[in-house]
Structure 1
Amino acid sequence: MIRNFYLLLVVLTFIHCSTSPTGRRQIILVKDGEMNEMGTDAFSEMKTKTPIDSSVSANSYVNCIVSAQLAVTTDTTGVESWEVVVFRDNTPNAFALPGGKIGVYTGMFSVAKNKDQLAAVIGHEIGHVIARHGNERVSQNQLAGGSVKILESLGKPTVAGALGLGAKFGVLLPFSREHESEADLIGLELMAKSGFDPRESVNLWKNMSALGGSKPNELLSTHPSDATRMKNLNAAMGNALALWEKAKAEGKRPNCQL
């Protein structure tokens, strides 16, 4: 018991008090620069293992949406420039890593059926980065393991998993339900501020739900259920619509086309 108490005291000296963009208190053990380096390394390796779609239409479309949202994004994690890659994979998914690395799978285009729905996806992923969810995941793993030697104790496979990438970098590991719900709300605000219709975020999840398949009970899953996500988004829609109207009045009407 005494040993655990002293370990806690040591750990607390390493904790950086932080608050997420939604005002949630966070436990952050790792410096942003270290997380950004980890994200950059993992992304570089993923690009060697997953086919990249180099088509002009797909890349212009995705970058148009990303650029519009980054223009209204406040990032305090030290990202100097964001990198966006479209991966040729039929899985309807996307991800983002510390260091400003965004990956969008071509399979997402069949589920996010218009620019506004894809903006909901990308805004969600940007939300993970600016809210330091990867850092929280790594920090929580280290606290659970009783270690404060962050980078020294993490091998490459563990780093990849902590950042949300599976062992083969083709499987994306979910964040906690709390992180996912927070990223949904951050993404909703970003898409509205940048001129995308926030109502399409709900339609996106209707499309995701329509995919069917075997889904675990919400209490057993690290993802909120589709119904819960739509309920939370609708609850925040009033403010999002006001932000969208303001953005349109300012001339923010992204013309992103696939």
Structure 2
Amino acid sequence: MAEKKAEKKPAGDASAKVHKPGKPRNYDLGNGVLRFSRTKMFHKKALYKFVGKKVEAKKKPQKPQVIEKPIGGEKNGGKRFVLVKKRRAYYPTQDRIKARPARKCFSQHKRSIRSSITPGTVLILLAGSHKGKRVVFLKQLYSGLLLVTGPFGINACPLRRISQRYVIATSTKIDVSGVELPKNLNDEYFARKRQKRAKKTEGDIFQTKKESYKVSDERKADQKKVDAQVMAAIKKHPDHKVLLPYLSAMWGLRSSQYPHRMKF
């Protein structure tokens, strides 16, 4: 006979009990101060009734791992002990490959930027060969680095990348919404191309010289194109007469001056 399945009670049945978690009696009133002290909770929980009482631990009945099995035959001993749960007859020679969670590479991380840094913000460089100069922020590249320019005609700072850790954002802003940047201004554009070392041959030890970096004609043309647009945006600024010497001046700290107390 097939067993009958238990009938489920309808959702609206009043007899179905719904578990509602209660609120704790003791809670934090603020600043680590609890509503009731440890002494008060000791009496509220009636813990004094259980002081000194010991309850013997109940031993759970253990299932036998081995059973006695009668064996026929004159020379077989008459009985044998057999495991209740037999061991596996096959063990793999290699461990199973564990499924590991997918990890994103650094190149796939989401790039964030400080709210104070927006296109057109004047930044102060704190590191690199141009540290202390004020530059104009243009856009954020895919790698998260900031694309800035001097412009070159004002403070001799060319188009370059820098991390937002090494800049101070000022309250001075320039409207660069009309500046059209070339599409090739990306991370690959600024990557240095390193040539492979030539194999050592006899007589070449002192003749080979390390080639110094030379600015390409393409970069010079892009620099002039971008700086012409940025300079036009600076001249449209209402305080352009003050802004030009402001960008050309170097920034630095004197004695008893602290950057965390300054407003830029």
Q: TM-score, normalised by structure 1?
A: 0.24
More strand by share: 2
The structure that has the greater radius of gyration is 2
Looking at secondary structure, tell me which structure has more helix per residue.
1
Q: Which of structures 1 and 2 has the larger relative contact order (alpha carbons within 8 angstroms, sep 6+)?
A: 1
- TM-score, scaled relative to structure 2: 0.24
